[in-house]
Amino acid sequence: AQSVTQLGSHVSVSEGALVLLRCNYSSSVPPYLFWYVQYPNQGLQLLLKYTTGATLVKGINGFEAEFKKSETSFHLTKPSAHMSDAAEYFCAVSDFNAGNMLTFGGGTRLMVKP
Partner 1 sequence: ETGVTQTPRHLVMGMTNKKSLKCEQHLGHNAMYWYKQSAKKPLELMFVYNFKEQTENNSVPSRFSPECPNSSHLFLHLHTLQPEDSALYLCASSPLSSTDTQYFGPGTRLTVL
* Contacting residues toward partner 1, per CB under 8 A: 32, 34, 36, 41-46, 49, 51, 90, 94-96, 98-102, 104-107
Q: How far is the CB of 34 from partner 1 (least distance, A)?
A: 7
Nearer CB in complex with partner 1: 20/29: 29
Q: How far is the CB of 2 from partner 1 (least distance, A)?
A: 11
Nearer CB in complex with partner 1: 96/114: 96
Q: How many CB atoms lie within 10 A of CB 65?
A: 26
Nearer CB in complex with partner 1: 10/113: 10
Nearer CB in complex with partner 1: 15/95: 95
Phi, psi (rounded to 5 degrees) for 6:
-110, 115
Specify the pairing of strand 24-26 against strand 56-58. Answer: unpaired
d(Cα 37, Cα 109) in Å, to the nearest integer? 10
The answer to whether the beta carbons of residues 102 and 4 sit under 8 Å apart is: no
The answer to whether the beta carbons of residues 33 and 25 sit under 8 Å apart is: yes
Q: How far is the CB of 13 from partner 1 (least distance, A)?
A: 22
The answer to whether the beta carbons of residues 30 and 96 sit under 8 Å apart is: yes
Q: How far is the CB of 95 from partner 1 (least distance, A)?
A: 6
